[in-house]
Structure 1
Amino acid sequence: MADFLLGGQIDPAQHQRTDQLTTVSSGDFTTHGVIVGMTGSGKTGLGVVLIEEALSAGVPALLIDPKGDLTNLCLTFPGLAAADFAPWVNEGDAQKAGQTVDEFAAAQAAAWTKGLAGWGIGPERLAALRATAEFTIYTPGSTAGVGLDIIGSLDAPTGVTDAEVLGDEIEGFVGGLLGLVGVDADPLTSREHILLSNLIMTEWSAGRSLDLPRLVGMVQQPPLRKLGVFELDQFFPPKDRTAFAMRLNGLLASPSFSAWMAGTSLDIDAMLRSADGKPRCAIVTTAHLSDEGRQFVTTLILGKLVTWMRKQSGTTDLRALLYMDEVAGYLPPTAAPPTKKPIMTLMKQARAFGVGVVLSTQNPVDVDYKALSNAGTWMIGRLQTDRDKQRLLDGMSAASGGVDVKAVGDTISGLAKREFVLRRAGKDQPEVFTTRWAMSYLRGPLTREQIAVLMADQQTNAPVAPPAGSPLPPPSPATAAPAPAPTPAPVPTATRTSGSDVPLMPEVADGVAVRWVDVAAPWLADVGADPAGTAWEAALMCRVSMRFDDAKVDFLHDQEFEAVFFPLSEQIDPSRP
C-alpha cells in the first residue's frame, strides 16, 4: 500500500504549518472518503491532490466532473516554464492582475515552481506522473473531447448472469432515459419504466444486445404477452404505447442527439487501464449538459461501474478510485434520482472489491447522511452555515460514535482557506492540515476549444449512428393471432445477404391481406423467425377452417388448422410448412 501525501499538519490556533506531513494510506480509501467545504475553501484543490497521489501510486481513477474543474488534471507541465502556462491562463485573471497574458503566465510558472518546491516536489515528480498515467477527458453528448457512446451501454453485459446485477443496471439506464424525455418514473409504479425494463431484461437474459432505436421500436410491439399478471394491452394499451414510442423517437430524431451515439464504448475496463495495463485518469465532464443529461450520463457510468465491480475478485488493496465532484444533486437526502441507488451500492459494497469512493460537496445538508456515514475518511474545510456543519457532524457521529463532536465543530469554525479537519478511518482524534501544492495547474474549468486541443490525439472518429429519424416498425393492424398454435416441422433459420435488405416494403398485389406477426407468438422460433430481429421478411400463412355437420346423428364439430411457410423460396412445398 502507498501513502498519499495530502499536505502537512498545522497549528489550528496560529494557522502555521508544522514539520509533520499529512499522509493517508491508500488502503484507507477502500472505506471511502468525503471532502466537504464551501466555495473558496480549497476543496477542489484537495481533490486534485488526492487524485494525483492515487495516479502516482498506479491506481486508476474514474472522475465524474459536473463543473469542469477536474479537467485541470491534464495541465501538468514538468518544465514549469512560462511558455507552458501561457496557452492556459485566463485572460480575465491576467487583466485583474494588471498584467499581459505572458506576464501573468510567467508569474503563474514562478508561483507553481515555488509552491511545489515547498513540498519537495520538483520537475521529475511531474514528469513521473505524466509517464505513469494516461489522461482522457470524455465529453458525452459533445465532440469537444473524447466522445462516449452512451447508447452503446445497452450492449448485453458479458460474463454477468445475476438477475439482480442486471436489474440494477437496467433500472439506472431506464430511469435516466425517462428523465431525458421528462417522465418522472418510479421503478415500481411507472408503466413506462416497467415496460422498458422488461424489454431490456428479456433481451439481455437471452444474451442479445440492444440499441436505443431498436428499443423504441419494441415499445409498440413488445415480445411480451404479460407484465405481471395482466395482459400487456390491459397494462399498457397499444395507443398509449405508440404515444410513448413517439415521445422517445422525438429524442432520437433530434440532430443534437447523434453525438450521444458517437465515440468510444462505455467500457469500465478500458477507461481504467490501457491495453498494456497503464493506469488511466478518466475524466467524464458533464458541465456542458442539462441537469437531466448529467443524471442520465452519471447513472449509466455508475451502473456500469457496479456491474464491473461485481465481476472482480476480492482484495484489501485499492484497485480503483471513483471521485465524484459536487455530489449533492446525485445523492439527496429525501428524493431518489436514478443516481442514488448505485452510489449507495458502491458505498456499502465496493470496499470488498478494492474500489474506493470519494464524494465531494459544498452542501452537506443536501446529501443523504446515511451515505456519508459509510465513509471512513473525512476531510472537512470551511462551511458556509451552521446547518451545514451540524449535518456533517451528525453523519460523522453516525460513522464513529467516539468522535468528540463539539471539539470537531469548534475546530471547523476556525479553519482558514486550504485548511481541513481530517478524521481517519478507525481513529477518533481528528487532525488539522493544510493541503500541499497541486502539481496540476488549477486555472478553473476548460473551454470546449481547450478540451479539443488537449484531446486532439485521442479523439476517435467513431461512426455516428444515423439520426433516428429512421422510421419505427409499422404499427400492427389486425395482428395475426398466434392461437391456435400450428405445429410446423422445423425449418432452418432464414439467411439474408445485405443486398437483399430494402428500406420499403415491396408492393403486394391488390386483394392480398398483409399482417404483421405478433412477436410474442410462441411458434416463431419453430419456423426459424427471430422475435428480436430488426428486419421484416415475407412469410405465407394459410388457415383452413372445417365444419363437420351431420344432423342425422346430431353431430357438429369445428376444426381449424394453420400453416406458416417461412422462409419463402421460388417454389413452395406444401408438405413442409
Structure 2
Amino acid sequence: MNGELAALEALYISTALTQEEIWTPVTSYHVDGLHPEVFRRLGRAMGAVERAHSPVAAVVRGETGSGKTHLLGWTRHEIQERGGSFFYIKLVTGRSFWESATDSLVDSLYREDEGGQEQLTRLLDELSRRARLDTDTRTAVTGRGEVTRDHVDAFVRGIRTIDRQVGNEAADTARALALLASADDLVEIGRAYFALNDDDGDKRAAWGMSPGGRPAQLVLRDLTRLFALVGPLVFAFDQLDTLVSAAETSSLTSPASGEGRAAKRLSGEIATGLMELREEARRTLLVVACHEDTWEQISREAVRSALDRFEVLPTLGAIPDEATAAAIVSSRFRPYYESLGFTPRSPTWPVTPEALAEAPHRYTARRLLIRVRKHIEACLQTGTAAELTSLAGAEPTVAAPPAPARAVNLSTLTETFDKLRAEADDLGPLEHPAEDELMPALLGAGLRSLVRELGADETRFSIETDFGRKAALHARLRYVVDEASENEFHWSFRAIAANNAIAAQNRIRNAAVEAGLTAELASRRLILLRNTPYPSGPRTKDIKDDFEARGGVSLPIGSADLRTLAALRAMLDDRTSGLDEWLRQEHPASRIEVFAPVLRDLRQHLGIATTEVGAGVAVDAAGTPEDAEPARTEIVVGTTVRGGRSFAVPMERLRMHTAVVGAAGSGKTVLIKRLVEQCALRGVSAIVLDPNDDLARLGDPWSRPPTGWTDDHEREARRYFADAEVVVWTPGLNRGRPISFYPLPDFGPVLDDEDDFPRLVRSTVTSLAPHAGVRGSSARATQQLGILKRALERYARDGGKTLAGFVELLAEPPSGIVNSRTSRFAVQMADTLEASMETDPLFGESGAPADPGMLLIPSPGKAARISVISFIGLSGDERAQFVSRLQATLFSWFRAHPVGDRALGGLLVMDEAQNFVPSGAPNPSTDSTVDLIRQIRKYGLGIVLASQLPRGIHNQALGNTVNQFIGRLTQPAHIEAVRTMAQARNAVLDNLAGLRAGMFNAASEGTGFSKIEVPICLSHHDVPLTENEIVERARRGPERS
C-alpha cells in the first residue's frame, strides 16, 4: 500500500456525534465560521449566568446534521473553562421528566473536564474549600480517603455556612453526594438515593439521611442549588426529537396503545418540566437542541408566558461558504495526517477546492463529511487514491486488485483472528470490578464489526461505550430509523458481575433507565450479561422481574463470545488492512450469541437476511442427519417471541386460506417465500403471482450465506434446491416463457354440481363481459349479462369448449336465450368478442391452451414445482383478466384431479391481493377470487392473500382466511382494518407500528394471536428484478412448450 492510501486508511471520520463525544475536546475540529451568531449569543448567555443567579433559557433549532450536538460539545467546553458545570440531559420514555433529568444529571457528575477532574470531585472539593473544612474532612468527602458519619456531618454544616437555606433543604442530597464519591461499598447507598430507591432506609438513616425517598424534582433542585454555590451551570437537553416524534406517530397509528399513551404523556411533560425547571434553577443556562417542528410541538403544550422566557436562537443551516467547508474537512484530517508524518497535497486532500465549492448553502456539515467518508471508502476499496472533484459526482470506479492477492490477504486475516482468539482472556472481563473497565471496549469492538459485516450505511449507526464512571451501560448501538425526525432504535448492553445485592440492584435499575427500557416502547432494547445467578432475596427478584416485564433480556456470555470480541478488538485497534472485506465475508460478529437480539431487529431496518444466532438454533447433542426430512404434516412458520415455542400450521389447515399483511419492510415477502419453500420441502407445489418482481428469486440460492445462516438453514436449502424446481412464466411476453388460458374453462367436472356450476358460469361471465363490450350497470348492461349467462349455460351443457364456438352461438342465439327485443344485443356482443379475439393475443385461442398441470406437476426427479407468474408483459386490467381465467381453470382442474388422502394439493399465492380482489370497484378477477376462496378448499387448494394494504382487499376474501399473519403497519386506515380482523377472534392488536421486521401477530384455527419471529427464507431475498433479469430466469429450467 502506497503512502497516500496508507494515509486514507488511517482516517476515521465520525459523522454523527454521540453523547460520548460531547465530553471529549472539540477545539481540534471546531470551526468558527459555522453558525457564528448562535455561538456568540450562547457565549453571552453563559456570561449572564456566570455573573447573576437568574436562569437563562435558549433554544437551538436545526435539521439533522446541522451541528446541534457539536454545539453542545462546544458549550460544555466553554462553561467548564469558566469554572462552571455541564449536564447533558437525556429524557427517556417510561420515566417522568424529573426522574429522567435527575438520572442524567447524576451520570454527568462522573464526567471529567478537559483537565481530567470529575465534576463531582470538583464540586465537593470547591464546597469543602469555601466551607473551610479541615484537611481530613476535605480528603474524606472528596473520595480521597475513608469517609465517616462525622465527616459527612461536618460537610453539611460547612455548606450551611455558605448558604443556610441550601444547607438545610439539600442536606440529604449533599450527604448522598459525599457517599457517591467514596471508593468503597458506601457508593451503593449514594447510588440508591439518586436512583430514587427507598428500600434501604435504615442504611441511609445511619448516615443522617431521611429513611424515606426524596421526590425526583426536589433532588434535581437540590443538585442545581449545590452546584450554583460554586459556579454557573448548563443543562443541555438533546434527543427530544425522538420522543416527540414517537408521541405524534403513536397518536396517529396506535392511539390506545401503551406506547402511544406513554410517549404522548412524556411529550406534555417535556414542555411543563422545561418551564418549571427554568423557574427553579439558579445560575443555570438551559439549552434545548431540537428540530424546528419539535420545538413547535413543545410550544403547543406550554403556557405562553413561560414560553416567552426561552430565547429562540437563529436556526442552524447549511455551510455558509467555501472557506468554512474547507475548515470542516481539514480539521478532521489534520490530526491523522500529523500522527503519520504525512504531508498531503493540500490540507483538504483528497477533497479538491472544486468539490468544496459545491458545499455552501447545499450541504450541512454532516452531509459533507458523509460524502467525503464514502469517497475515502471507495478509494480504499478500489486501491486507488483518487481525488474528489465533485460532491455530486460518482464514486471512483477503478478496477479492484487481482483476486488471488486479495484471497491470500483474507486468508492471513483468518489466521490472525484464530491466533488472537486462542490467546484471549475469557475469564477476566466478567470478574468484578473488571467488567466496567474491560467490557465496554470489547462490546464496542463487536458492535463496530457487526455494522461493517452487514454492509449497511454506517452513517446511520453510532456506537457508545463511554458512560462515565457510573457506567450505567457498557455499550449501546444506535440506528437512525428516520433522519428527518431523528427517530432511533437502540440496543444497549451491560455486564453485571457484582455479587453484592444492592450493587446488583442498582446496576439493573440504572441500566434500565439509561437504556430507556419500557414495555411500552419497542425501539429500546437492553441485554444484561451475567454468567452466575443474581444475589438471592425478594427485592432483587422484584427488580429483575420488573426488568424482564419491561422487555429486558438477561443472557450468559460464553467463552467463545468473549474470545471473538477480544480478537475483533485487537484487529480493529491495529486497523488491519482488508479488515472490512474480511468481516463481510466471514461474519464473526454475527455469530456472537449475545448479538442475536440485535440481528433479529435489524431485519426491519435494513431489509437483510438475519435470524437468531446461537441461542435457540443449535442442533441437539445427537446432531441432525444431513438427509433428514421435515415433518410432512405441518410447517413451522416461526418461533413465538414469548417462550420461544415453534408456531406450526398443519398442512391441511392451509386449505382454509391464509392472509399475510404488513407494510413495506415488515418482512411480508420473506414470510410468503417461507410458506412456499416449506410446502415445497413437503412435496406441495405452488403458483405464485408476482406483481412486484421480487418473488421470481424463489429459484435463486444465496450467493454467500446471509447473516445468521445456520447449519439447519444450509441443510434445508440443499434439500429445497435439490427437490423443488422454480419455473418463471411471462404471460404476454414471448421472449420469456409465455402462457395463456382459454377464456372458457372446462365446465365438464362441475356440470352436475348445483352450486359449483352456477358459480363457475358467473365468474366466467364477469371475465367475458368487458371483452363483449358490457360496461356499467345500466338496464342494457343487465340485459347483456343475462344473455351471456343463459348462452354460456346452454353452451357448457351442450359440451362446448372453445370461445369461437360460443361466439357462433351468440351470433345466432337459440330460443330461450334472447327475445325479439334483445337478439340484437347478442349479435353485437358476438361481434365485439370476435374483435377482441383478433386484437388481444391472451384472449384469443391461438395455439394450445395451458393446462394447470403445467404449473403444478414437477418434472421427473423433482418433488414440487413452484410456478412464478410475472406480469411484466401485462398492464392494467389485463392482469386481472389473466388471473380470472387462471382461477376458473384451476377450479375445474382441481375438481377433476382430487387430492385423495393428501393434506394439501397446492398453493395459490396472490401477492398484492388488493389488485386482484379489491374492496372498491370490482375488476375482472374480483368475483372469481371470492368464489374460488369460498369453494376451492374442499378440493385441496390453499390460497394465500398477501398485501401491504389490507383495507384494499374485499372483505369477503379476507374474511374467509383462517391463518392470519399481521406484521408492522403504519397507516391508520390499514391498522383499523386488521383490528377488525382481530375482533373476530376476540383479540386486540396494539402497537402494530412498533413491530420489527420479521415479527408477526400469528393465528390459526382455534388459536388466538401469538407474536412470532419468522426466520430468513432459503432462497435469495433482495431488491425487485429487472425485466431482463426476469426474462433470463424464465428461459431457464424445463423445455419451453
**Smaller-chain TM-score bracket:** 0.5 to 0.7
Structure 1 residue 389 displacement after superposition: 1.3
What corresponds to 1:440 in structure 2? 1019
SS state at 2:995 partner: coil
User: Could you say which structure has the higher helix fraction?
Assistant: 2
Are the aligned partners of 2:661 and 2:947 in contact in 1 as well (CA < 8 Å)?
yes
Are the aligned partners of 1:172 and 1:300 in contact in 2 as well (CA < 8 Å)?
no
Q: 5 Å matches for 1:134-283?
A: 134-151=725-742, 153-154=744-745, 157=748, 160-162=751-753, 164-180=755-771, 183-184=774-775, 190-210=782-802, 212-222=803-813, 224-227=814-817, 231=819, 233-237=820-824, 240-254=825-839, 257=841, 261=845, 265-274=849-858, 278-283=863-868
How many Å separate the matches in 1 of 2:859 and 2:894? 19
Is 140-149 or 173-182 further displaced after alignment? Answer: 173-182
Are the aligned partners of 1:268 and 1:308 in contact in 2 as well (CA < 8 Å)?
yes
Are the aligned partners of 2:800 and 2:806 in contact in 1 as well (CA < 8 Å)?
no
SS state at 1:175 partner: helix
Show CA shifts across 1:199-229 (max 9, x none): 333232122321x34444443223x1232xx
Give the structure-1-normalised TM-score.
Answer: 0.63
Structure 1 residue 397 displacement after superposition: 1.7
Of the three residues 866, 871, 875, the one matched with 1:286 is 871
Are the aligned partners of 2:965 and 2:1002 in contact in 1 as well (CA < 8 Å)?
yes
What corresponds to 2:708 in structure 1? 115
Of the three residues 627, 637, 647, the one matched with 1:6 is 637
What corresponds to 2:990 in structure 1? 409
Structure 1 residue 360 displacement after superposition: 0.6
Q: 5 Å matches for 1:34-183?
A: 34-76=659-701, 80=703, 109=704, 112-117=705-710, 120-122=712-714, 124-151=715-742, 153-154=744-745, 157=748, 160-162=751-753, 164-180=755-771, 183=774
Structure 1 residue 147 displacement after superposition: 2.1
Q: 5 Å matches for 1:323-402?
A: 323-333=909-919, 335-398=921-984, 400-401=985-986
Structure 1 residue 322 displacement after superposition: 1.8
Are the aligned partners of 2:743 and 2:843 in contact in 1 as well (CA < 8 Å)?
no
What corresponds to 2:479 in structure 1? none
SS state at 1:115 partner: coil
How many Å separate the matches in 1 of 2:1040 and 2:783? 38
Are the aligned partners of 2:747 and 2:757 in contact in 1 as well (CA < 8 Å)?
no
Structure 1 residue 334 displacement after superposition: 5.0
Structure 1 residue 27 displacement after superposition: 3.1
How many Å separate the matches in 2 of 1:68 and 1:261? 27
Q: 1:214 to 1:68 in 2, by over 3 A?
A: farther
How many Å separate the matches in 1 of 2:664 and 2:652? 29
Structure 1 residue 367 displacement after superposition: 1.8
Are the aligned partners of 1:31 and 1:351 in contact in 2 as well (CA < 8 Å)?
yes
Q: 1:261 to 1:42 in 2, by over 3 A?
A: farther
SS state at 2:769 partner: helix
Amino acid at match of 1:317: A
Q: 1:33 to 1:263 in 2, by over 3 A?
A: farther
Q: 1:294 to 1:28 in 2, by over 3 A?
A: same
Q: Does 2:648 align with 1:23?
A: yes
Q: 1:10 to 1:264 in 2, by over 3 A?
A: farther
Structure 1: stretches of 5+ with no match in the other structure: 12-17, 81-108, 463-577
SS state at 1:226 partner: coil
How many Å separate the matches in 2 of 1:154 and 1:423? 35
Show CA shifts across 1:148-195 (max 9, x none): 232264555457543643433333233223335663366995333333
Are the aligned partners of 1:147 and 1:259 in contact in 2 as well (CA < 8 Å)?
no
Amino acid at match of 1:371: A
How many Å separate the matches in 2 of 1:460 and 1:150? 19
Are the aligned partners of 1:142 and 1:260 in contact in 2 as well (CA < 8 Å)?
no
Are the aligned partners of 2:698 and 2:1020 in contact in 1 as well (CA < 8 Å)?
yes
Amino acid at match of 1:382: R
How many Å separate the matches in 1 of 2:899 and 2:677? 26
Are the aligned partners of 1:219 and 1:242 in contact in 2 as well (CA < 8 Å)?
yes
Amino acid at match of 2:633: A
Q: 1:264 to 1:453 in 2, by over 3 A?
A: farther
How many Å separate the matches in 2 of 1:219 and 1:203? 10
How many Å separate the matches in 2 of 1:331 and 1:218? 31
How many Å separate the matches in 2 of 1:304 and 1:330? 16
Show CA shifts across 1:454-492 (max 9, x none): 232557665xxxxxxxxxxxxxxxxxxxxxxxxxxxxxx
Show CA shifts across 1:93-119 (max 9, x none): xxxxxxxxxxxxxxxx2xx443332x7
Over aligned residues, Cα RMSD in angstroms?
A: 3.2
Structure 1 residue 38 displacement after superposition: 1.0
Q: 1:160 to 1:443 in 2, by over 3 A?
A: farther
SS state at 1:129 partner: helix
Q: 1:426 to 1:155 in 2, by over 3 A?
A: closer
Give the structure-2-normalised TM-score.
Answer: 0.36
Percent identity between matched residues is 22
Amino acid at match of 1:409: D
Is 300-309 or 160-169 further displaced after alignment? Answer: 160-169
Q: 1:262 to 1:27 in 2, by over 3 A?
A: same
SS state at 1:121 partner: helix
Are the aligned partners of 2:635 and 2:648 in contact in 1 as well (CA < 8 Å)?
yes
Q: 5 Å matches for 1:407-556?
A: 408-410=989-991, 412-428=992-1008, 430-457=1009-1036
Amino acid at match of 2:945: L
Structure 1 residue 354 displacement after superposition: 3.1
Show CA shifts across 1:366-395 (max 9, x none): 223343232222111111222211211112
Are the aligned partners of 1:168 and 1:303 in contact in 2 as well (CA < 8 Å)?
no
Structure 1 residue 74 displacement after superposition: 1.9
Q: Does 2:883 align with 1:298?
A: yes
**How many pairs align?**
407
What corresponds to 1:531 in structure 2? none
SS state at 2:1017 partner: coil
Q: 1:163 to 1:242 in 2, by over 3 A?
A: same
How many Å separate the matches in 2 of 1:258 and 1:387? 36
Amino acid at match of 2:709: L
Structure 1 residue 438 displacement after superposition: 1.4
How many Å separate the matches in 1 of 2:799 and 2:772? 28
Are the aligned partners of 1:145 and 1:452 in contact in 2 as well (CA < 8 Å)?
yes
